[in-house]
């Protein structure tokens, strides 16, 4: 407990000591020049003028969080969880972002230095972005290099977006943008009046940063319990036929956005298991889908569908590989009263032939097969509801938000409350939580109950 | 930041024309004034481009700052318009981009691009009389109120200005009881708008503090929005304004959200 108290105290002192000089600095900011500006196009403060073609942006951030799974119910707010861990996050991140134009080509790089007290690597250099945008012709552009990629209409729910995610970042309270992990990809876009086409090739398979026991525990079907035993899944071999290929055909007509999607690659999380190697694997996956999004009433409505074609188990009888499934997402977002926005989503996953998996297990002489219940297999229909509530106060400086996942099918949830205070153009303070729970310890969110945590985050933009 | 800044999109998009005070049509002389004022403030040229910056001063005197470039294209004079806004400052919104298809009479289509997530976000049509990024500008101040939302009368005039009084036809979603607007007779630009509550107390003022000519078109290059109740205010300035660039319509598409069109922004 003393150790945790020390961390919190340390953070508080650090935040205040860093904040102090800026309070003084504010009185000498460049904005005094506002009232002096006169004449045509003259008199703008120097710091708004682009004096160099290089744009340099730097921030530093401290994130600290502690597990509460035990403590929440036993009176101590912060307490070791079942894995005897106390810190869910303790890190200092420095990001330097530089970009500039070369003619009409755009170069962008974001490099980070991360001192991470929780990760096995305590000091990491991360290349978040390193890409070049270039127009090959009037209607054909390319973005090549390390980049963040996103498409689709879901909010924290991804049907057709099979680009890399970072679930560890999501669970530990990093900024929402870190939910998307970068990949080294080539993205070609062909713009046409009829419809435009994105083609993204990721030569080296880039998996999600999945929950692997390093920072957060998970349910292990092998042991039948929640564990923090670390594992590293077996990645597909590095060969050209294992590259990922994704496309999107998209068109906006009268304010309504239509898109078709395709993906050829692998599950982004280690959903398969190789019993010979004894390791988790990334089974082959093809995906097809479509989405529509537009204004409806006073809000925005979206519908998205996808068919995940599990290529390593087309028959659907391999219990070690997920079966193919249909997915549907219906969403609606509206500002209910001034500054209060509610977004709702219903996400349905229909797994093909879950009974075949069960049968095939029961046919084998696997030692545990007779103990398996229906709960150990995927539901045919799995429903998930999400709600996002956002409330802006104090002239939009203080944001209250709650994102919640709840599945009536498995009776489990993930709540993500947070309060962010954007003090000014430099300082951001945030406190929040990642709260998991459920009836069973093997369901999507229920397995993470021990990972429930509270965190605080302070960022300074230079 | 995304929640905060999506409201910038709702708002700043309309600023190329600086359509601070859009007035509906009533009696004939008034209707002509309003129509011309609307065109002068919101629809100058076939299209336009401006560099803009905004200072936001809260009631404690603390300052925030935004810097962005705007592109606007008229589809029809007095009718539909397209807007693209590309932010450069502050650092946390660098290359955040907004796209709006404005449809007077019904809901606009709005998109926000968040570069950190590579996410094109659709923005719901929200309350239009709400501040954005803590500034004292309202979305509706800038994008224009529904042309049929208020009834107008001529309060007074002198050699240089008309003063009109506007009363909302319905109080739904409106915090003022009435407002009055002063319009310059030569340029038809709205110079001052003052908002009164149900007790006829003045609580809010918008002022065009600087007018400059670009390509012979009088343009509001500085305006101020004041919250007289708490003393907070915001100032927007424009520079390097250009009209009739020949902006093609495909500048106002998802392509520009993800990759801002350098050739038109410079």
- Bond preceding residue B90 cis, omega within 30 of 0: yes
Tell me, what's the ipTM?
0.84
Summarised one tens digit per residue, pLDDT across range B201-234 is 999 999 999 999 999 999 999 999 999 999 999 9
pLDDT number for residue B29 = 75
Is B64 part of the contact surface with chain A (CB cutoff 8 Å)? Answer: yes
pLDDT surpassing 50 at residue A448: yes
Is B109 part of the contact surface with chain A (CB cutoff 8 Å)? Answer: yes
Does residue A401 contact residue A390 with C-beta atoms inside 8 Å? yes
Half-sphere exposure for A55 (CA within 13 Å, toward CB)? 20
pLDDT band at A74 (very low <50, low <70, confident <90, very high): very low
pLDDT band at A82 (very low <50, low <70, confident <90, very high): low
Distance, in angstroms, between A148 CA and closest chain B CA?
6
Q: Which residues of A touch B120 (CB under 8 A)?
A: 150-151
3-state secondary structure of A274: strand
Query: Which tokens belong to B132?
Result: 């954005």
Of the listed ranges B38-42, B104-108, B167-171, B258-262, the one predicted with least confidence: B104-108
pLDDT band at B26 (very low <50, low <70, confident <90, very high): very low
Q: What is the DSSP string of A17-83?
A: HHHHHHHHHGGG-GGGGGGG--STT----GGGS--SS-EEEEEEEEEEEEE-TTHHHHS-SS---TT
Sequence-ordered strand ranges (E) for chain B: 47-57, 63-74, 81-89, 97-102, 109-114, 119-122, 150-157, 161-168, 178-184, 190-196, 202-214, 217-227, 233-243
Q: Which residues of A touch B3 (CB under 8 A)?
A: 341, 390, 392, 396, 399, 401
pLDDT number for residue A71 = 45
Is the Cβ pair B91, A425 closer than 8 Å?
yes
Is the Cβ pair B117, A149 closer than 8 Å?
no
Q: What is the mean pLDDT of chain A?
A: 85
pLDDT number for residue A1 = 38
Is the Cβ pair B4, A179 closer than 8 Å?
no
Does residue B74 contact residue B81 with C-beta atoms inside 8 Å? yes
- Rounded CA gap, A326 and A310, in Å? 11
Is the Cβ pair A422, B130 closer than 8 Å?
no
Q: Which of A40, A104, A179 sits opposite B263 (nearest CB)?
A: A104
pLDDT surpassing 50 at residue A130: yes
- Rounded CA gap, A355 and A362, in Å? 11
Is the Cβ pair A300, B122 closer than 8 Å?
yes
More confident site: B265 or B142: B265
pLDDT band at A436 (very low <50, low <70, confident <90, very high): very high
pTM value is 0.85
Closest residue in B to A39 (Cα) is B212
Is the Cβ pair B62, A293 closer than 8 Å?
no
């Amino acid at each position: 407990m003393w150790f945790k108290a020390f961390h919190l105290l340390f953070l508080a002192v650090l935040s205040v000591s860093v904040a102090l000089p800026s309070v003084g600095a504010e009185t000498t900011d460049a904005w005094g020049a506002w009232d002096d500006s006169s004449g045509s196009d003259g008199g703008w403060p120097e710091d708004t003028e682009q004096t160099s073609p290089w744009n340099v942006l730097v921030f530093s951030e401290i994130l600290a969080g502690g597990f509460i799974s035990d403590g929440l119910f036993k009176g101590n707010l912060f307490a070791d969880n079942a894995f005897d861990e106390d810190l869910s996050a303790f890190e200092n991140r420095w990001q330097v972002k530089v970009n500039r134009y070369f003619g009409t080509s755009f170069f962008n790089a974001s490099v980070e230095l991360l001192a991470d007290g929780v990760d096995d690597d305590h000091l990491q250099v991360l290349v978040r972005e390193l890409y070049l945008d270039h127009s090959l012709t009037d209607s054909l552009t390319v973005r090549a290099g390390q980049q963040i990629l996103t498409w689709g209409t879901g909010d924290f729910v991804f049907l057709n977006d099979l680009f890399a995610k970072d679930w560890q970042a999501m669970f530990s309270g990093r900024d929402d943008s870190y939910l998307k992990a970068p990949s080294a990809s080539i993205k070609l876009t062909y713009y046409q009046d009829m419809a435009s086409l994105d083609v993204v090739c990721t030569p080296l398979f880039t998996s999600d940063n999945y929950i692997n026991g390093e920072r957060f525990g998970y349910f292990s079907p092998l042991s039948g319990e929640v564990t923090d035993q670390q594992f590293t899944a077996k990645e597909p071999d590095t060969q050209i036929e294992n590259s990922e290929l994704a496309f999107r055909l998209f068109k906006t007509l009268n304010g309504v956005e239509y898109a078709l999607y395709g993906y050829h690659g692998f599950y982004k999380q280690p959903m398969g298991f190789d019993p010979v190697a004894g390791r988790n694997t990334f089974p082959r996956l093809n995906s097809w889908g479509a989405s529509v999004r537009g204004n409806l009433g006073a809000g925005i409505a979206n519908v998205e569908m996808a068919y995940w074609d599990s290529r390593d188990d087309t028959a659907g009888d391999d219990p070690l590989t997920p079966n193919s499934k249909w997915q549907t997402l219906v969403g609606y977002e509206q500002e209910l009263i001034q500054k209060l926005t509610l977004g709702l989503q219903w996400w349905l996953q229909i797994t093909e032939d879950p009974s075949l998996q069960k049968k095939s297990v029961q046919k084998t002489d696997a030692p545990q097969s007779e103990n398996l219940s229906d709960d150990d297999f995927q539901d045919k229909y799995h429903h998930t509801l999400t709600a996002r509530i956002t409330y802006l106060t104090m002239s939009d400086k203080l944001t209250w938000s709650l994102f919640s996942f709840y599945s009536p099918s498995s009776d489990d949830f993930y709540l993500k409350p947070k309060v962010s205070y954007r003090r000014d153009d430099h300082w951001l303070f945030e406190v929040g939580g990642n709260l998991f729970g459920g009836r069973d310890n093997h369901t999507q969110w229920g397995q993470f109950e021990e990972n429930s945590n509270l965190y605080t985050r302070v960022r300074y933009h230079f | 930041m995304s929640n905060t800044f999506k409201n910038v999109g709702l708002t700043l998009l309309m600023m190329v024309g600086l359509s601070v005070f859009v007035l509906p049509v009533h009696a004939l002389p008034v209707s002509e004034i309003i129509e011309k004022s609307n065109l002068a403030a919101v629809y100058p040229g076939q299209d336009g481009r401006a560099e803009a910056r905004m200072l936001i001063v809260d009631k404690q005197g603390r300052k925030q700052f935004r810097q962005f470039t705007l592109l606007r294209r008229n589809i029809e004079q007095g009718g539909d318009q397209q807007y693209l806004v590309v932010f450069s400052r502050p650092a946390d919104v660098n290359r955040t981009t907004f796209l709006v298809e404005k449809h007077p009479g019904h809901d606009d289509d709005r998109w926000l691009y968040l570069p950190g997530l590579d996410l094109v976000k659709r923005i719901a049509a929200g309350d239009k009389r709400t501040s954005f990024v803590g500034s004292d500008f309202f979305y509706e101040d800038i994008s224009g109120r529904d042309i049929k939302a208020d009834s107008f009368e001529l309060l007074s005039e002198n050699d240089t200005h008309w003063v009109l009084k506007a009363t909302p036809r319905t109080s739904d979603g409106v915090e003022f009881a009435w407002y009055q607007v002063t319009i310059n007779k030569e340029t038809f630009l709205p110079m001052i708008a003052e908002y009164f509550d149900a007790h006829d107390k003045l609580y809010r003022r918008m002022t065009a503090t600087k007018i400059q000519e670009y390509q012979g078109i009088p343009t509001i290059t500085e305006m101020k929005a004041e919250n007289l109740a708490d003393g907070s205010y915001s100032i927007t300035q424009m520079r390097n304004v250009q009209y009739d660039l020949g902006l093609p319509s495909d500048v106002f598409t998802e392509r520009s959200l993800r990759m801002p069109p350098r050739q038109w922004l410079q």
